[in-house]
Amino acid sequence: MHPKIKVLIVDDSALVRQALTEILSSDARIEVMAAAPDPFVAAEKIRTCVPDVITLDVEMPRMDGLTFLQKIMSQHPIPVVMCSTLTGAGSESALKALEYGAVDIIVKPKLGTRQFIEESRVSICDTVRAAAMTKGRIRPVHRREISPKLTADVIIEKPSSKAMIQTTEKVVVVGASTGGTEALKLFLEMLPEDAPGTVIVQHMPEHFTAAFARRLDGLCRVSVKEAADNDSVVRGRVLIAPGNHHVLLKRSGARYYTEIKEGPLVSRHRPSVDVLFRSAARYAGKNAVGVIMTGMGDDGARGMKEMFDAGAITLAQDEASCVVYGMPHEAVKLGGVHKIMPLQDIAAEVLRCCC
């Protein structure tokens, strides 16, 4: 038996502290060691017992979450998951926190339908467990299913056995999760302005993906935007799946475009990398290059194997450069990866494959 993951919740809202405590305590692998209304109380609790993971609110009295995060990272690095609202300002601040060293983002829990509450529980618990794995990556986390785990079958049919005839135009599909925001930043900054059209799934809550895309658009030579229904996938453009929606790569004649779909969680995620990769296998075949990056779990592994079988070129980030070597490892184990490589080499390899 592995020791439980000790979590410290820091949020000025008593209702949020209570909701997070109930959600995290529902996972047998997680223990809420304490909850604090502000960073000063949190600091006292850390002196008594160092948690494995901290969930940290962005906006709090006496000291804001970003300032406290910077102090944690400079004095006593601990995996931190930011707990933010869906507001524009909140999402921008949460993305700033990723630059300061936060592992991931979760949305503040709120009342809703039974399905919403269950999906939030799955996402929050998975995110905290993934964060714990970043602390040296010293032990595997064995999954206990707490909800039915659906495959891409619920969104899109499997590709036919006949791979599409190769053309001169290539498209790139990328999947990432924990640690992916900075991995994608490095990858996209290395692409030229005429890079092949690219579609990305980064596990991230709704509304945060738009802010993430704007941030990348200001840093990269390629154009980056949150994907919308019927967006053309063309050279020089990168489309990021909107949070809480699946994205599919579709084709009409010689034109590739995106389709945005609702639907259940697939491989415990929405958007799901498996859904994107399956659509690439089905509609692009040999014209596609697939990349799977850092992240916990196995989302994207089956889809990458389908791409591999359809004749696509498939690449995986190596263990040394991953924050969490979960998704790439699962894809490698399924035999769906042509090449495993360091993050800093992936962009050049993608461009070489698309020549």
User: Taken in order 139, 343, 242, 302, is the CA torsion positive or negative?
Assistant: negative
Q: Which amino acid is at 226?
A: E
Sheet strands (E) in the chain: 5-10, 30-36, 53-57, 80-84, 104-107, 171-176, 198-202, 223-226, 237-240, 246-252, 255-261, 288-292, 313-317, 339-341
CA 251 – CA 258 distance, rounded (Å): 8
| Catalytic residue chosen out of the listed positions 203, 207, 269, 329 | 203
Under a CB-based contact definition with an 8 Å cutoff, are residues 52 and 7 in contact?
yes
* 159 preceded by a cis bond (ω within 30 of 0): no
CA 259 – CA 350 distance, rounded (Å): 23
Q: Supply angle C-alpha 68, 70, 73, rounded to 5.
A: 110
Q: Based on DSSP, count helices (H) and strands (E) in the chain, helices before strands.
A: 11, 14
Tell me the chain's radius of gyration from C-alpha atoms: 20
CA 175 – CA 274 distance, rounded (Å): 9
Kindly write down the DSSP assignment for every residue of 123-153, as one continuous string: HHHHHHHHHHHTTTT-S-------S----GG
Whether 299 is catalytic is yes
| Catalytic residue chosen out of the listed positions 91, 120, 123, 177 | 177
| Catalytic residue chosen out of the listed positions 38, 126, 299, 318 | 299
Residues marked active site are found at 177, 203, 299
